[in-house]
Chain A
């Protein structure tokens, strides 16, 4: 089995999908350009031919009028050139220059009465008729051949102007060039447009596949352009930071859980051995059993706290939220804990206005406040001043629990909410290091925050809970 299932080979811009799309886009735009060129060209040429057709029909009307008024003979003599009714090929050369017009009057037997005999188109109007001339070669004409009286036909032709021919030539050359150059142009423009996109995406792909392999600390480099790629990369990096933190935390937590469970279990095992040894001494057995029970209690409390953390962080309890009187709850807890602080030689003060309600789980908030107070009870120095304050902001309630010593090192302020974190390195004091994690989880479940607002002289923790309301009194 491959150890790198997702590790793709170093990508090439030519194989990328963005390049293929850019090629197609370039081809499509060139094709559109060409089609547009031909469209314009054909419109222009059609208007040129309309002009020529109008001139042909004008000439015909003049000829018809002449025949009607003065007879066929008059037309025949009017068509004479240089006194000759029948033109010879040299005349044509001149006429082409001067009048841009060739005519032929002929009878039913195809005999030419006047004009140039060398022109013999089929009947009707023809846009492109090629007249073969000994000197000029093939000349394109627009030509009409129609009856002018019962037995006579008149052929009128005009040379297609040189500019029309020129335009045609240019169009065909351009088309030929574009068709031949289409591939290379599309490839080159696609390369340049797709290169930067490809590079940015490739950087993301390279980083993510590195993470997929083994390097969770890899991050996507940002370009500082603050464009959509930077936003994507930034988002992915943020996600990775969070995943990495969670992973590291989980690794740490696993070790800590093992440690915290192993200690009481070892103690229980030790006591069981002592019970075996002292089987004959009921008093000693009772004492060992009592100690073992206490350790089991510790173990169960740790497991219970872990289960609660898991449930709270899964967020399942939010449906059961309801508005309750936070002031009343805080007062009740303050009153409950007051004797404990007194016994512990600490001066406890609570400042709780009577009108604050929040949306939440009363039992969990009770646990939150309890855990904060217990933390102070455990860690504040003897004779310390301890306070619980509740204040109401315009849309949130704020709970502050603080003491005036000994506090914690400032650089550890963020750590106190982590699982199994204890500020005494020897882990000698009671507690499982889950109390403040629960506080943060419960605050988080309610959409609020738990923050350390002071680390000296004593620790002060502030909890904000949104969705508060003032109770009408």
Chain B
């Protein structure tokens, strides 16, 4: 991935650039919103990470300006604020995702991957998604594995669909809370884990090979390998 990072805090920038370098991605780091907007205009990036609290200009305002100028590159907003309204205002400005500091690198990376993939997926809008012998038909919400129809609850279907759309990528617990439950708070109970284990009992347990694997402390990956 080619990533643009607009962040004035050197420590956060180092943390992100080290992680991305290890993953083999390309990063351009700029320190302020003006330069960030100029670089974003080149449309050479797959994802933009924009800090919310920048000197002189709010990241949300910058995002709004860029969106009005017709920029379609996915934007992930970073913020130290965790107020209940900050998230909403961040997303309303045109950002595609929103992450509160401090965060685990795995969380950031999973979200970047999901954002980078979203655009082509949306364009193709596949009606059938296949991962290995697992088949999901989006129009009829029919799911089958190895020719056997799986009986899923609506929420289980949505979790599986989201995992399959992000095939081979880490999907974190917070991403699932965001997308499937629409929660912007972190329940202390094992809500996500319980539902995932139920889903796995239907999708993986009756079959030889597990498609869904747990990444300890972070989330889940669905993959045919």
Contact = CB atoms under 8 A, between A and B. Distances in A.
Given A290-B217, A293-B217, A335-B155, A374 B187 contact: yes
A367 B183 CA distance: 8
Contact of B194 (A301, A335, A343): A343
B139 interface: no
Contacts of B195: 336, 339
Contact of A307 (B83, B186, B190, B217): B83
Interface in A279-337: 290, 293, 296, 300-301, 304, 307-308, 311-312, 316-317, 320, 335-337
Interface in B172-223: 181-191, 194-195, 198, 217
Interface residues of B, number: 23
B46 to A, nearest CB: 29
A25 interface: no
Contact of A317 (B85, B186, B191): B85
Contacts of A377: 189
Interface centre among B83, B102, B187 (most CB of A within 10 A): B187
A267 to B, nearest CB: 17
A367 B185 contact: yes
Contacts of B182: 363, 366
A114 interface: no
B141 interface: no
Nearest to A361: B84
B26 interface: no
Interface in B78-108: 82-85, 102, 104
Contacts of B181: 336
Contact of A370 (B155, B187, B194): B187
A388 interface: no
Contact of A431 (B82, B102, B155, B188): B188
Given A290-B217, A293-B217, A336-B181, A308 B189 contact: no
Interface string A372-411: 0010011000000000000000000000000000000000
Contacts of A300: 102
A308 B185 contact: yes
Given A339-B198, A363-B184, A307 B82 contact: yes
Contacts of B183: 363, 366-367, 370
A364 B85 CA distance: 11
A430 B188 CA distance: 9
A340 interface: yes
A296 B104 CA distance: 11
A378 B155 CA distance: 24
Interface string A403-442: 0000000000000000000000000001100010000000
Nearest to A339: B194
Nearest to B187: A370
Contacts of B102: 296, 300
Nearest to B192: A336
A339 B186 CA distance: 18
B189 A304 contact: no
Nearest to B101: A300
B186 A336 contact: no
B190 A340 contact: yes
Contacts of A320: 85
Interface in A46-94: none
Contacts of B188: 301, 374, 430-431, 435
A293 B82 CA distance: 19
Contact of B186 (A293, A301, A431): A301
B155 A336 contact: yes
Contacts of A308: 83-84, 185
Nearest to B181: A336
Contacts of A363: 84, 182-185
Interface in A426-471: 430-431, 435
Interface in B95-128: 102, 104
Given A304-B185, A340-B194, 8 more contacts: A290-B217, A293-B217, A301-B188, A317-B85, A339-B194, A339-B195, A363-B184, A374-B188
29 contacts: A290-B217, A293-B104, A296-B102, A304-B82, A304-B186, A307-B82, A308-B84, A308-B185, A311-B84, A311-B85, A312-B84, A316-B85, A317-B84, A320-B85, A335-B153, A335-B155, A336-B195, A337-B189, A339-B198, A340-B190, A340-B194, A343-B194, A363-B183, A363-B184, A366-B182, A366-B183, A370-B185, A374-B189, A435-B188
Task: Across the A-B interface, give the 10 residue pairs with the lowest CB-CB distance, nearest first.
Answer: A339-B194, A340-B194, A374-B189, A367-B185, A304-B82, A370-B187, A339-B198, A311-B83, A343-B194, A377-B189
